[in-house]
Structure 1
Amino acid sequence: HRVAKLTVVPRGRAAGFMMPDADDRLHVTRPALEDMIAVALAGRAAEEVVYGEVTTGAQNDFQQATNLARRMVTEWGMSPRIGKVALATDEGNFLGGGPQPLPMSEATAFAVDEEVRALIDAAYARALDLVREYLPAVHEIVRVLMRRETLSGEEFATLLAGGTLDGPSPAGSGGLAPLPA
């Protein structure tokens, strides 16, 4: 998935956000879903790598990642352990409030939770590896965001690839303190 926009301008309870390009695919593969989970967890991974500690800022990211992983396991049959079964249904859902869990045994519920956790843990490990691999680019993206506040998807891709952005930064941006190594 490509980035459409990246910003540090606060919106609601979010201190900033990444907007992915619109994707009109009706069918999404397991690897693509795993990528989405890793992307959702990348902000927390960057906090851990750059600052050595984490904040409460990733709350919504965890909700998104967990919801996606749970749907992989309970709706789309993407867990070898659980199998190709649906453990949620949209039937009888008033006003389309989302899938409702079907009754399941305590053992199955435990297995679902373990599978969701395994998907999240694997995606987080991948996000950590990617942040470490691209750390110089991450630092540059942060520096540019602190001056400009918002990057287009093209600008983000240029910086991630190690490129630079030509042109003046907004007036009054001043010097930026270096990020910790």
Structure 2
Amino acid sequence: MERLVQAGAELADEVGFEQVTVSELARRLDVKVASLYSRLKTSQDLKTKIALLALEELADRVAAALAGRAGKDALAAFANVYRDYAREHPGRYAAAQLRLDPKTAAASAGVRHAQMTRAILRGYELTEPDQTHAVRLLGSVFHGYVSLELGGGFSHSAPDTEQTWSRILDALDALLRHWPAP
């Protein structure tokens, strides 16, 4: 099963996550579709497994990058891993955005992502409900920027995207250090 999911993830990176189907994977592996359906229930099952793989890969990278870091350094490490992963694996990144059913989500690496994000925010001394607001803010900014960048939204304008990314991280750090009172 692991080989199938890995092949599906590679396919997603090449052709786009939305284009991944059991039939397309069978063509890629040069096997009969029926032989894959003995291991996969549906194309949605395959997509869910790719999403879980992507979440696990991303969580492992984030955990390694966060080791020994705090504050802005941890925030930048987290953000850079997220952005780099999306640029390196656009199909898997799209898979990681797949809405999972509650039971699957609760058992996924998505829980690790939430824990690591909250660990970063504890360094900014945010308490609930502001911590939840900040998690949503970070997710929105990271996902929004990465999606626009992957879609070519910044390709024809100055300053360059690296400079903008750096300024965004500076701004997020400043906002988190001076979180507004309700």
The answer, yes or no, to whether TM exceeds 0.5 is no
Name whichever structure is richer in strand by fraction: 1
TM-score, length-normalised on structure 2? 0.29
TM-score, length-normalised on structure 1? 0.29
Name whichever structure is richer in helix by fraction: 2
